[in-house]
Amino acid sequence: MAELIKTLLSFSERAGEIARSIRREPKLFSLLVEEKGESEKNQRFTHDFKTLADVLIQEALRHHVKQMIPSLGDYVQGEESAEFTNTLGEKIIVQICDTQQETAVLLSKVLDGNSEAADILATVVHSDISWTPEPELVEKIPDLPIESLGIWIDPIDSTGEYVKGESGTNRGDIYNHGLPCVTVLIGLYDRMSGLPVGGVINQPFALFDKESQSWQGQVYWGVSHQGINIHNVPLNTLSPEDGRAVLVMSSSEDLELYQKFNKNFNVVHATGAGYKLLVVALGYAAACVSTKGSTFRWDTAAPHGILEAQGGGVVIYNKISHHAKEVDVDKNTLRELQIRYHKPNDSPAQLSLQWSNEGGFVAYRDPGVLSTILQCVAD
């Protein structure tokens, strides 16, 4: 199992390098964006984009996992379709070939014959990029049942911020928007129970080095199985502002809900579902609340796996709100309220919503914060 985690960590860094490589070359980046079809659009955004980087990362992970564990390769799920349409109207199925040259030839078709751009991308995809996890943690990784695992991947979460490419603004330790909100998300779950067992979050644009004028990434991971919980996330314990802990939300949430939570929390807005849950795992926020049902399993699987390893979780908002008059919610109930990742929603309004977190969610590192959240909901 340790080898699988090492592989996913190294792959996440390769994905981060793909994202950074594309952003470094404006001419290359401009070639790689096409608007999604109506059926694929995330309803929260007027314009939602699919990039070749998304597809490349997703299919590269599938290819990599199939090489390492053939039986697991069929259980890699993601947001994007592997079909890409070039400007000539040709529909091409993007896949990672056996050799760098073969991949470059295929990508050249997507890029209207731009072999130089295709060569750059194929080189990164096939390069041997690694991320070495902490040795003292690796030896503690539990022996997960690989034969029953599934993988959710969001190749580039917060695509809008990635496309805009702004450095972003921050409030304290939390960025409201910008490249730092972009994440690569890889979540592991048990295919029988649907519960998360691990997660990897790569933040490709975590730090900007002014001297080299380049972005550097950061990788966070965690595993939770049969009472064994390990992770590499630093546990920050920040002092609450004005005696109120931070709660992070999307700016699209209703004003009435914002006012409810703002009585007991210092509410901060941020973009990117993966990033908002990451700041909870990092301790910059006590919780994240989303009520719109506009996130998907691929958004929450990876951070959910890390939060589980920290003793936290991601529960369904509509279900936890039914307990609003209770002071505490017991552990067994909390387990039942966790988001599950193995089955699509029953009878979704649209096929594109079959994997949406339709009941919203509450993400937390410390279950103790839930009593305050429930108090806000009950008021």
Catalytic annotation on 336? no
The number of angstroms, rounded, from the C-alpha of 171 to the middle of its chain's C-alpha atoms is 21
pTM: 0.91
**Closest-CA residue to 111 (of 37, 34, 32, 51):** 32
Give yes or no for a contact between 166 and 148, defined as CB atoms under 8 angstroms apart.
Answer: no
* Domain range 2-231, CATH architecture: 2-Layer Sandwich (3.30)
Computed over every residue of the chain, the mean pLDDT equals 87
Predicted pLDDT of residue 117: 84
Give the active site residue among 13, 59, 190, 299.
299
Give the active site residue among 157, 161, 308, 358.
157
Give the active site residue among 7, 51, 54, 306.
54
Domain with CATH 3.40.190.80 in the chain: 245-378
Predicted pLDDT of residue 45: 37
- pLDDT tens by residue, 153-193: 999 999 889 888 888 888 888 999 999 999 999 999 999 99
Q: Which residues pair with 61 in a beta bridge?
A: none
- Residue 245 to residues 173, 232, 289, Cα–Cα distance (Å): 13, 23, 13
Give yes or no for a contact between 320 and 214, defined as CB atoms under 8 angstroms apart.
Answer: no
**Closest-CA residue to 261 (of 284, 285, 237):** 285
Tell me 34's DSSP state: E
Catalytic annotation on 161? no
CA separation for the pair 373, 230 (Å, rounded): 27
What b/e sequence results for 27-42 when a residue is b if at least 16 CB atoms lie within 10 Å of its CB, and e otherwise? ebbebbeeebeeeebb
Catalytic annotation on 99? no
**pLDDT per residue of the chain (379 residues) written in tens, 0 to 9:** 788 888 899 889 989 998 898 888 776 676 655 555 555 555 443 333 456 788 888 888 888 888 888 888 889 998 777 887 776 778 888 899 999 999 999 988 888 788 888 898 899 888 888 788 888 898 898 888 888 999 999 999 998 898 888 888 888 889 999 999 999 999 999 999 999 999 999 999 999 988 988 899 999 999 999 899 999 998 776 666 677 899 999 999 999 989 999 989 999 999 999 999 999 999 999 999 999 888 999 999 999 999 999 999 999 999 988 876 666 778 888 999 999 999 999 888 788 899 999 999 999 999 999 999 998 988 7
Domain with CATH 3.30.540.10 in the chain: 2-231
Packing angle, helices 297-309 and 273-281, rounded to 10: 10
Q: Which residues pair with 43 in a beta bridge?
A: none
Q: Which residues pair with 199 in a beta bridge?
A: 187, 222
Give the active site residue among 120, 141, 156, 174.
156
For the chain, helix (H) and strand (E) counts, in that order, are 14, 17
Q: Which residues pair with 189 in a beta bridge?
A: 150, 196
CA separation for the pair 78, 102 (Å, rounded): 24
CATH class as words, domain 245-378: alpha beta
What b/e sequence results for 75-87 when a residue is b if at least 16 CB atoms lie within 10 Å of its CB, and e otherwise? bbbbbbeeebebe
Catalytic annotation on 159? yes
Neighbour tally for 298: CB within 10 Å: 25
- Residue 51 to residues 29, 58, 84, 111, Cα–Cα distance (Å): 9, 11, 9, 12
Residue with tokens 């609450």: 240
Give the active site residue among 13, 59, 80, 154.
154
Give the active site residue among 159, 271, 291, 300.
159
- Residue 278 to residues 82, 308, 318, Cα–Cα distance (Å): 27, 13, 22
Predicted pLDDT of residue 329: 77
**Pairing of β 196-209 and β 214-225:** antiparallel
Give the active site residue among 79, 190, 308, 358.
79
Catalytic annotation on 157? yes
